[in-house]
Structure 1
C-alpha cells in the first residue's frame, strides 16, 4: 500500500524588519492581524540560554520578536534583529530564488490596496484577473502591494484552492 503524505498546514510566516513596533502597528491597522501577548526583547547578555540563541549563529546578541495571528490562525512572526543589524533585501526580488511574497484574502482587493497606500505602503503593478470568473460571474481580482518596508503582500479575492484549479496566468 502506498504511503499517504499528510497535507500539512502553514503554521506561520516570519519577516525581518527594522522596527518591530511600527510593523506590528501597521499590520494591525491595515490587515487586522492581532498581536499575541507582547513584543519580546531578548538579549544574549541577559538570557544566554534562550532558545533563540541555540538556533541562530553565535553573533546574534539581541533581537525583538512579536507574534501575530491572521484571520485564519496562521501566524505572522516579526523579528527585529538589533545586534547584528540586518542588511536590507531588494524589494520584490521575483527574479531571485526563495520566498518573495505572502498573500492575504480580501473581498475587495482594490479597497484594501488603497488602505495599504494610505498607510505608507505602495501598489506594485495593476489589478489583474488571473482566473476564470467566479460562480457569480465576477472576475477574480488579484494585485500586489508592499508594506512601508518593502515586504510584498499579494491581495486576492478568492481562496487559493479555488484559484489553483482555474488560473489563467
Structure 2
C-alpha cells in the first residue's frame, strides 16, 4: 500500500464526498419501516411511491446525515438469508453496511433483547484494529457493528 492511499487526498475532486444513503430492497414497505423504527430506532423522514415500488428514507436515531433508503416491491427476488457470516461471502454485489459503536457488547445485547439473531459472534481483527459482529434484518440484509479494538 502506498502512503498516498493511507492519507486523505485533499486535492481530489472526490474529497468533498460524504455518505448520504444506501438503498436496500424489501418486499413490504410498512413492515420494513415498522421493523427498522422499533428495533433500530430509525426514523422515516421521507416517502414516495412510484409505480409498484415504495421508497422511503430512514434516518438514524441520532443522525440525519446518513439514511437507509428502502425500496419496497413485493415482486422483487429475495436475498438469501444467512445463518453464518462465511456463508454470505459467495454472493457478488452489495454485502453489508457497517455502523460504528462505542460499545459492541451493549449493542449486541440490545439487539438480542429485541429478538434479533446475530449472524456472527464478535470477532477481533487486529490487522484492521476492529472488533465486529453481524446481524441481519428479516429480509436478509446484512449489517455490521464495529468497535475500534482500542476502545
Q: TM-score range by the shorter chain?
A: 0.7 to 0.9
Note the residue ranges of structure 1 that are not aligned, 5 or more in a row: 44-61, 135-139
C-alpha distance in structure 2 between counterparts of 1:117 and 1:100, whole Å: 22
Structure of larger gyration radius: 1
TM-score by length of 2: 0.72
**1:81-160 paired onto structure 2 within 5 Å:** 81-82=73-74, 85-92=75-82, 93-131=88-126, 140-158=130-148
Large movers: runs of 4+ above 6 Å: none
Task: Give the unaligned 5+ runs of structure 2.
Answer: 1-10, 83-87
Query: Quick check: which one's helix share is greater?
Result: 2
Coordinate RMSD, CA, aligned: 2.7
TM-aligned CA deviation for residue 14 of structure 1: 0.4
Q: Do structure 1's residue 65 and structure 2's residue 55 form an aligned pair?
A: yes
Match of 1:40 among 30, 42, 48: 48
Question: Which one has the bigger strand percentage?
Answer: 2
Q: TM-score, normalised by structure 1?
A: 0.66
Maintained 8 Å contact 1:123/1:145: yes
